[in-house]
Structures are given as structure tokens and as C-alpha cells.
Structure 1
Amino acid sequence: MRITAGDVAALERGVALLGSGGGGDTVTAAVLLRRLLADGRSLAVRAVGELAPDTRVVPIGVVGATAAFTEKLPGGDEFAAAVAAVERWTGERAAALMSIEIGGLNGLLPLVVAEQLGLAYVDADLSGRGLPRLDQFSVAATGRGIAPAVLAEPGGQVVVLAAGSDLMVERGTRAFLTSSGGWAAFALAPIPAGDLAACTVPGTTSGALALGRRVLAVGESPPRPALEAALDGSVLARGRVLEVARHPGPGRHGSPGFGRGSVTLADHRDGSLLRLEMENEYLLALRDGAPVASTPDVLSVLDHRTGVPVSCDAIRVGVEVDVVRLAAAPFWTDPRRLPVLQPRAYGIDCDPVRPR
């Protein structure tokens, strides 16, 4: 598959939808990608099965406060420094890159980095959607582990988290980001291409592009059946946001957690109240108090007029929205991995709600 400048709008819409209200703003990364693909250029995206089994693939992405990424722009060397550091530490040379997360900013920016570094790009990621924590990556869920991991921040610091549990790597990363400007380029140890099918979510870039194309094709304010067909999902509610409540997260073991919140809207169809519980992403939907959808399925909120996804930090009272559900990647519905993304993994006392 090759991506051209004409594909960027669809890819941006697809990754924003898969961000489930998180993942960071895609605008800056889309501008960089369009600039890279100007003058008729295109970028190759390789399927997992097209690579030789011993090809070393390095997962990369932005971690931290993605809002800070647009305020403190990269100098241009952060990802090169992160990839070089992980190569030195492991003694293995990167032949290709992949994204740590298809949802949001990281669904676009690694494509730019791969082209800049002259490396192949692989159609897979470690999330299949937007995720808030490193210890929820597919490599953690399958027991492969995260360490060693490299962080390179805009000020020039490069840190290698050489060993430790997935939770310790997550905590160490957050501690580093707090003192270094809010975001960093992130790289994991190379993964042999022959192992990718077992520990990653394949086909996510091509899937996001196809999703975006379908959604853009139905236009603005589409009828509900047309939107559901484009999403291959369901519209949970259409209505005006009545209330947005935000409060600090509960944290664990005395440490601060991500901020929490809820969004309430009245469904125009029947007057029922739909409430969304959110953290960095939308996690649980309740209709008149009864759960109707939850993570690991992807819950997204779309501006009803434009169809543009509305992030958790941007949702406001008075906006007319569509609340939609997209099916989770099969990787996450496997009973062995479901506990990693079920509501209780976020401290919500509710079983996963599956489509009927």
C-alpha cells in the first residue's frame, strides 16, 4: 500500500476516530505528512507478511501530554536520537518502524519519521486504538514486555529504561516526562518481523485509512443508517451535551492518576440520558444508568454537524454530538487479553459490555 497527499484527510479522520477521545491532536502531524507527500510523492506501508522474518522493527511514538506537543514543537532530532539509542543498547539495527498507537497523533507522525530516517514502515501497531498507559500495549498484554525503552525529549535528554516490570517502565516514563517538558519521543527494542503477528495489532494503518474514507464519503450530518454503515459500528445517541464534569483521577498506591470526567447528553430520539465516563479516552456509556457500551470497544464523540471527532479535553456543554461505538480489534477481545482493557482496568466497577 502507498499513501499519497490525497489520502491524508481520510487517514487523519480514521486515526482520530480510533483515538476514542484521546491520542492527541492530529492537525500538526497531518500538516507534516502533507508536506512530506507534496509534489506527487508517496509513502510505502508494508504489511507484516511482506517482511522477512528477521527484519528488525522498532515501535515508536510520542508519549506524554500530547497537548504539549503542539506548544513545544519537536526540534527534528528526537526520534532519530531515540532510535539510535535503542540500537546502541540492544546491538540490533532497525530496518523498519511501526507505531506504538494508531489512535490520534501517533497514527500519523511515525509515518513522517520513517520517511525521514529512510526506514520501511509497517502496517501494525501496539494498541489498535487510543490507550493511556504503556503497560497496556500489546507487547505487555502478551508477556513480551516493554523494557528496554528509550525516551528522547526536545531539550536533548535521552534516557534508557533498561529493565523493570511494565508497570515500573510506565511509572518511570511519567516521572521523566514531569520534569522534562511534558512529552518525549519513545522507542522500544526491535521486534523481529516474524514475531509481530503474535504480539501486535496488524493492519491498523490500512484499517484507519479505509475507515476514514468511508466516513468522509457519507458527508456532514449523515443519516444514522449511513453513518453506522460507514463506521461498521453503531450510533449510541444523538443529542446536545447537557453537562461535563471533571475531577482528579484516583491514582494508585498514593500516586496521582489521570483526570476523570463524565459527559451527559439527552438523546433526541427518545429523550433518554446517555452518560459517558472518560479518562484520557471515553471508556463507558450508560443509558439511563444502564451500561450499553464500554472499552475495549472504541467509543467516540463526533460533532454532529461536521463529523469531526471531539476529544475528551475539548468536549463542552451545548455541542450537538453523535456518540458512536466501533468494534474493538480482535486482539483485545481474546479472553486472555480482555482484562487489560476492560473497565475494571481503569478502576470502573463494570463488566465489559459487548455488542448484541
Structure 2
Amino acid sequence: MGQAVCVQIGLADVPALERGVSLLGSGGGGDTVTATALLRGRLAAGHRTALTPVGELSGDARVVPIGVIGATAVFAEKLPSGAEFRAALAAIERWTGHRADALVSIEVGGLNGVVPLVVGGQLGLPVVDADLSGRGVPRLDQLSVAAAGKGLTPVVLAEPGGQVLVLAEGTSIEVERTARAFLAGSGGWAVLALAPIPASELPECAIPGTMSAALSLGRQALSADAEELAAATGGRVLGLGRVVEVSRRPGPGEHGRAGFARGSATVRDHRTQSLLRLEMENEYLFAMRDGEPVASTPDVLAVLDHRTGVPVLCDVIRRGVEVAVLQLPAAGFWTDPRRLQVLAPRAYGIDCDPVLLEVRR
């Protein structure tokens, strides 16, 4: 096997990167249009952007996980100035006493699959070809570092109004709750930075290769139809048809706190006339065909506009749209029995065992 090399990202690669991270968002992760516009701007101005393999870093290099959390629709309306990322990085460096040598995305699915490339260029830091999710995830306590037992604290949140919050201690669930309360009282979104991780520890608590894999997935998606894409990725097409019903409702809360919005979308499959129902929260989580479970998280469930191939997000899916529904294999990190339950249906209040693809990449 050849040694991994840095992957250069040019203007011509941006459409594929955007399509790949959108697919891995599993219907969530936020709109990538704004993030890719920022990346295009940097590349058009002559700045170089690359993905650095974990193995190219020295073992003691410190890698800071970074990303945007909160209401991504507000992110598009209230663009970052760049100061938020600098403030978050400076705060985590001061608190931990370690300088950042590189950055890694907290989530490859959605806009956080693109934003770190912009930030790395602005801050003069390499971006590691890895992330802490392998797909789209809704909660901080579901990041791979938490699933691997490292915990999240210390955590820094920097919002566009200038507030910077440091969470020094707390369980991963407590960090998630506190972060959501902070977002509700600030600008709706914030930059999150976690403590620097030695590069030698990344393979155990992150998911290597996911950024370049998103780029490759996007290239395949741009040159193939749904059936071809499923075959090329070890996935399968769950349904081809029209969305006939969409319902939305408040999600279940915990300890008196509101939950994420929940809902379902039903597709009538043109091939069999069966009904494919997708349960969704921030992402598509679970699929049933005529009442029988057929697919679930942590596999990626993607809904594509049948005409354009563009992924349809949970918050914009509507009746009447012709779609293809795909099931794509989860990263091996999440199919490990030690971590499977972190993203399994019951983690979202769906009382069913995981229904995963048998073929793995």
C-alpha cells in the first residue's frame, strides 16, 4: 500500500467536495452553499488548500478539532468575520497551554466538511484528512472523541457577537446541554474548538481519511445516477419515487428541555408502489418499507432530487418532489460494537435495532 499524500483542493474540486459532504450529512449538517462560496473566494484569490494525512504529522503535533455548531440557516444570514475562529483557537490554546499545529473538522457531513479548509488557510494551519463524525451528527456527545471515551472538555465556544465561553469540566451530555443554552442566548451559531489532540492519538478517537473520501464520493455522485452511485459505494437504492407526505412535530425533550424537531417523509416507490417512510430529526435516521424496518443510522440515508441529483435536506423536503433514496455504508468506527449504540436508532428515541448494509467499504 502506498504512503498517503496531501490532497490538493482546487477550484475544479469544489463542486465534488460540496456534493460529497452534502451526501454525508444524511439530510443534515447545514447548507453548504455559503461555506463553499467562502472556499471558492479563497481559491480564486490564489490561496492553496490541501488535506494532510494523519500519518504526515509528527506524533506529538497538536491537532485542534474545530467547526460551527447551532442554527446553520442563521450562519448563512450572518456570515462569520473570521474573528470567531481566531478567538476560539486562541482561547483553547491559552486554556490548555498547547499551540495548535493543525486543524481537524468536527464533522465531515455538511458545512463543517468545508469550513475548516477556509479557516486553515486564514490561520496558516494545515487541515488534517479526518474528522470526528464520519457523517452528519446532531449532538456534541455523539462526536467520536466522546464515543472513544476521551470526553469533550475543555471546550471553547465563540459566537459572532464577541462572547467566548470556556467549559472547563463536565460530561459530554452536560457540554451538549450547556452549548445549546449558550446558542439560544447568543447569535444562534458559534465556533466550537476542542482541546488539541496529539496526532499519534487521532487514529483512536477520530475517523481518518473522511475528507478525501467525501471528495471522492462527490466525484462519483456528479458522474453517476442513483443506481450507479449505490453500486460504486457499496450502498443501495431504497426507493425511487414521489414524496407523498411530510409531517413535522416537536421532538422528545429530556429533563424538561426541548428536543430537536422531529418528522417523517413518505415516498411512494414507482417501481413497486410500496411506501417508504423516513423518520428524521436533524438527519434522516430510519427507513421503513410498508411498515418493515429496512435501513437506519449509523448508515447514511440520503435523499436526492431525482432530476438534479442534489441532496435534499430534512428541513426543505416537501410533497411532490421526485427523489431517489439511498443507503450508504457507515464508517467502520461506528459499526464497531463498542460504539454502535452512540448512533443507533435508540440513541434518537426510536425503539429498533440498527438495520445496516452487509457490504462494507
Same fold (TM over 0.5): yes
- Alignment partner, residue 307 of structure 2: 305
Alignment identity in percent? 69
- How many angstroms apart in 2 are the aligned matches of 1:198 and 1:272? 42
Decide which of 36, 47, 54 is 1:48's aligned counterpart.
Answer: 54
Decide which of 100, 114, 124 is 1:108's aligned counterpart.
Answer: 114
Matches within 5 A, 1:69-218: 69-218=75-224
8 Å contact kept, 1:20–1:299: yes
Query: Which residue identity lines up with residue 179 of structure 1 in the other structure?
Result: G
- Alignment partner, residue 291 of structure 2: 289
The residue matched to 2:186 in structure 1 has which SS?
Answer: coil
- Alignment partner, residue 225 of structure 1: 227
Displacement of 1:183 in angstroms is 0.2
Displacement of 1:43 in angstroms is 1.2
- How many angstroms apart in 2 are the aligned matches of 1:240 and 1:225? 17
- Alignment partner, residue 339 of structure 2: 337
- Alignment partner, residue 261 of structure 1: 263
1:57-94 Cα distance to aligned partner (Å, 9 max, x none)? 00000011111101121122000100000000000000
- How many angstroms apart in 2 are the aligned matches of 1:39 and 1:172? 39
Q: TM-score, normalised by structure 1?
A: 0.97
Query: Which residue identity lines up with residue 348 of structure 1 in the other structure?
Result: I
Displacement of 1:353 in angstroms is 0.3
- How many angstroms apart in 2 are the aligned matches of 1:215 and 1:78? 33
Displacement of 1:354 in angstroms is 1.8
- How many angstroms apart in 1 are the aligned matches of 2:185 and 2:45? 41
Displacement of 1:42 in angstroms is 2.9
1:298-352 Cα distance to aligned partner (Å, 9 max, x none)? 0010000000000000000000000001100000000000010000000000000
8 Å contact kept, 1:5–1:42: no
Kindly report the root-mean-square deviation, in angstroms, between the aligned alpha carbons of the 2 structures. 0.9
- How many angstroms apart in 1 are the aligned matches of 2:185 and 2:165? 12
The residue matched to 1:45 in structure 2 has which SS?
Answer: strand
Structure 2 unmatched ranges of 5 or more: 1-6
Displacement of 1:233 in angstroms is 1.1
Matched, 1:278 2:295: no
The residue matched to 1:70 in structure 2 has which SS?
Answer: helix
Decide which of 245, 248, 252 is 1:246's aligned counterpart.
Answer: 248
Q: TM-score, normalised by structure 2?
A: 0.96
8 Å contact kept, 2:276–2:289: yes
The residue matched to 2:129 in structure 1 has which SS?
Answer: strand
- How many angstroms apart in 2 are the aligned matches of 1:232 and 1:115? 34
- Alignment partner, residue 3 of structure 2: none
Query: Which residue identity lines up with residue 272 of structure 2 in the other structure?
Result: D
- How many angstroms apart in 1 are the aligned matches of 2:31 and 2:135? 14
Query: Which residue identity lines up with residue 180 of structure 1 in the other structure?
Result: S
Structure 1 unmatched ranges of 5 or more: none
- How many angstroms apart in 2 are the aligned matches of 1:41 and 1:184? 25
Greater mean deviation of Cα atoms: 7-16 or 64-73: 64-73
Decide which of 11, 36, 47 is 2:17's aligned counterpart.
Answer: 11
8 Å contact kept, 1:231–1:326: yes
- How many angstroms apart in 2 are the aligned matches of 1:189 and 1:225? 42
The residue matched to 2:112 in structure 1 has which SS?
Answer: helix
